Amino acid sequence: MAAPMALRRELFSLGRVLSRVSHLGPRALGACSPHLKCYKIRSLLPLAPSTSFHTTTVLPSTPSPITVTEEPDALFQRVSVLVKGHDRAVLDSYEIFATMAANELGITKNKVYEPPKDMERLTLLKSIHIFKNHRVQYEMRTHYRCIELSHTTGCTAQVYLEYIQRNLPEGVAMEVTKTAMEKVPDHIKEPMWEEQPIDDKPSQ
Amino acid sequence: MASHASKAFLSLGRIHVSGVGLQKSLSRATYATGVSTHTGGGNKGRPDRGGQRQGFLKKNRRTSGEPRTDKMKVDQDWTSVYPTATPFRPSTVPLPVRMGYPTKGGVPPGKKGNLELIKIPNFLHLTPVAIRKHCEALKSFCTAWPSALGTDAQCDEHFPVKVESTDYMSAAPSLRNPSARVVHLRVKLSSLNLDDHARKKMLNLVRDRYCKDTDILTITAERCPLRKQNHEYAMYLLTVLYHESWKTEAWEAEKTVADMEEYSWEESPSQKNILSMLVRMKVAGEGEDEEVREQLLGRKEVQEYKNSVTRLRNEGESESTILQYKEAVKKVLNL
């Protein structure tokens, strides 16, 4: 069972046209020879976004370069995404988005559930001076939503998490708990005392 | 790699915003030429010192044209109307949304000028069509899970060491969270190459970090400032524990009965008691001490008694263990 190869990506694919334009700029500048005038390429940058704003995103014919590296891909047995927010409706919508994204990317969901909410209550004095019998009470409600994914590779988890995190709404916090799987390292396979007889003094 | 991507995105965001500004000013220019502002001329004749600002606002106010929603087709591409997270614009969203507390005998306020709709985060840029488009583009960067690791059992067999860490993301002045450096390393002792003595010594070394029910040793490292360092420290601890448990020190020979992890019936007071009692009952008949001992130990009832006592001591008191002990005692003493 060979370890899967890692995929390195250089760009995030959202807003592909803009990314291609901005990437083209420095690359073209670097690639152009000294005698060519580089201002022609630079002028593309401010124009292109305004023409592509509010028009259909045209996917370029050449996809972003995907490089394959030799380092083995990480394996995550469980990736648990816990989102916290003050508004339950926002978390509902976010859950729909996250589960749909997981389905589309082919990631297996272990379970999607709602941990019970936390309420932090404060009872404070209403007046700045005296009037101890008159208080005001505040409470802060924190709603949770947990999406557990199982059996994802490092690349897939990175792509999914980056996509999820970039679209995290305002006022929502997230905790991602990743459980990576590793092999038993080689130096723990055999005890080292068999090769060397115990000649060092026992520690007391 | 990720930072490069994020920097590219930030620069995109800046270009995007400047593009938006440019577009908006252009669009405003086109609107202004289309609509005539007739009310401006009327106000110039009355200089109102008290409401000078209001007069200024009234003079320069242009009546807005028809909203964009009227010109929208039903089968338009919504992903280009709301490509990224943008605040709610009532003239851009063609939905008859109402939000807010209803007025007395009325309905919740409409979408025009409704602050509640602007305050709440909207997911208009993440419609199912948009999600599908995004995922189509992202699929090429994903890798497949190896088919040989379908079940958890297979994963445990090939990759027994589990490293757990948490990332935090929240809106705050700082991106950092000090709890993100904590690393938990979990491994099943059955997957390590340990013999009997090594296992017992390992359990003595780790104490509370080992869970007997699940046979999992948990090493938590949080003393280093970086997660990578904590991970390496946890692996180092595991290595040291493993090698130390295989070592046999000179003082380990002084292990007493009280240090033993499991109860063993041989050379225990229980064995001495039962043998002396059976001898006194003259069960085996006369003979040498050693022969009598061997004979008694070989007996089935004594073996059963031994099993029941060992089980009782090791597993604790429960219905089945006490019942077994009772049966064994009755058989041994011929009751």
- Amino acid B276: pLDDT: 80
Question: Rounded to a whole number, what is the distance in angstroms from the first to the last CA of chain B?
Answer: 80
Min Cα separation B180/chain A (Å) = 10
Q: What is the dihedral of CA A93, A95, A97, A98, to 10 degrees?
A: 160
Helices (H) and strands (E) in chain B, counts: 13, 4
Contact pairs from chain A to chain B, CB under 8 Å: 232
Among the partner-chain residues B15, B166, B191, the one whose CB lies closest to the CB of A184 is: B191
Per residue, what are the HEC states of A83-125?
EEECCHHHHHHHHHHHHHHHHHHCCEEEEEECCCCEEEEEEEE
> Which residues, other chains included, contact B234 with Cβ-Cβ below 8 Å and sequence gap of 6+?
B163, B183, B185, B219, B220, B221
In whole angstroms, what is the distance from residue A10 CA to residue B226 CA?
A: 25
- Amino acid B286: pLDDT: 62
pLDDT at B38 over 60: no
Judge contact between B161 and A170, C-beta under 8 A.
no
In whole angstroms, what is the distance from residue B335 CA to residue B165 CA?
A: 61
Contact B22 A204 (CB under 8 A): no
Among the partner-chain residues B12, B138, B239, the one whose CB lies closest to the CB of A159 is: B138
- Any bridge partners for residue A117, and if so which? none
Judge contact between B321 and B308, C-beta under 8 A.
yes
Judge contact between B125 and B83, C-beta under 8 A.
yes
| Per-residue pLDDT tens over the stretch B233-290 | 999 999 999 998 888 888 888 888 777 878 887 778 888 888 787 777 766 566 667 7
Q: What is the DSSP letter of A204?
A: -
> Which residues, other chains included, contact B298 with Cβ-Cβ below 8 Å and sequence gap of 6+?
none
Contact A202 B251 (CB under 8 A): yes
Min Cα separation A133/chain B (Å) = 32
Q: How would residue A157 be classed by pLDDT, with cut points 50, 70 and 90?
A: very high
pLDDT at A43 over 60: no
Judge contact between A117 and A144, C-beta under 8 A.
yes
| Per-residue pLDDT tens over the stretch B188-229 | 988 888 888 889 899 989 989 999 899 999 999 999 999 999
- Amino acid B57: pLDDT: 65
Kind plus residue range of the DSSP H or E element containing B270: helix B269-280
Q: How would residue B54 be classed by pLDDT, with cut points 50, 70 and 90?
A: low
pLDDT at B150 over 90: no
Q: What is the mean pLDDT of residues B7-18?
A: 43
Q: What SS3 state is found at B305? A: helix
- DSSP notation for B15-84: HHHHHHHHHHHHHHHHHHHHS---HHHHHHTS--STTHHHHHHHHH-------GGGG--TT--HHHHS-S
In whole angstroms, what is the distance from residue A149 CA to residue A77 CA?
A: 8
In whole angstroms, what is the distance from residue A203 CA to residue B40 CA?
A: 94
β-strand A66-72 against A5-9: which pairing, if any?
A: antiparallel
| Per-residue pLDDT tens over the stretch B77-136 | 999 999 999 999 999 999 999 999 998 899 999 998 899 999 999 999 999 999 999 999
Contact A165 B169 (CB under 8 A): yes
In whole angstroms, what is the distance from residue A52 CA to residue A60 CA?
A: 13
Q: What tokens does A32 get?
A: 């152009």
Q: What is the mean pLDDT of residues A34-41?
A: 39
Q: What is the DSSP letter of B94?
A: -
Tokens 């927010």 sit on residue: A85
Contact A49 B141 (CB under 8 A): no
Q: What crossing angle do the helices spanning A16-31 and A44-52 adopt, rounded to 10°?
A: 170
Which residue, B238, B185, B145, B181, is CA-closest to A185? B238
Which amino acid belongs to residue B36? S
Contact B8 A19 (CB under 8 A): yes
In whole angstroms, what is the distance from residue A74 CA to residue A181 CA?
A: 8
- Amino acid A96: pLDDT: 94
- Amino acid B308: pLDDT: 86
Contact A90 B9 (CB under 8 A): no
Contact A97 B192 (CB under 8 A): no
Contact B134 A13 (CB under 8 A): yes
Q: Which of A7, A54, A172, A179 to mutate to test the interface with B (most CBs of B within 10 A)?
A: A54
Among the partner-chain residues B140, B159, B239, the one whose CB lies closest to the CB of A181 is: B159
In whole angstroms, what is the distance from residue B82 CA to residue B155 CA?
A: 43
Among the partner-chain residues A57, A169, A178, the one whose CB lies closest to the CB of B165 is: A178
Judge contact between B211 and B218, C-beta under 8 A.
yes
Min Cα separation A131/chain B (Å) = 33
> Which residues, other chains included, contact A189 with Cβ-Cβ below 8 Å and sequence gap of 6+?
B193
Report CA Rg, chain A. 27
In whole angstroms, what is the distance from residue B167 CA to residue A79 CA?
A: 11
- Amino acid B27: pLDDT: 42
Question: CA–CA distance from A138 to each of A119, A130, A135, A141, A142 (Å)?
Answer: 10, 19, 10, 10, 13
Write out chain A residues lying below 8 Å of B6, CB-based.
Answer: 12
Q: Is the dihedral of CA A82, A153, B174, B118 positive or negative?
A: negative
| Per-residue pLDDT tens over the stretch B242-251 | 998 888 888 8
The model's pTM: 0.69
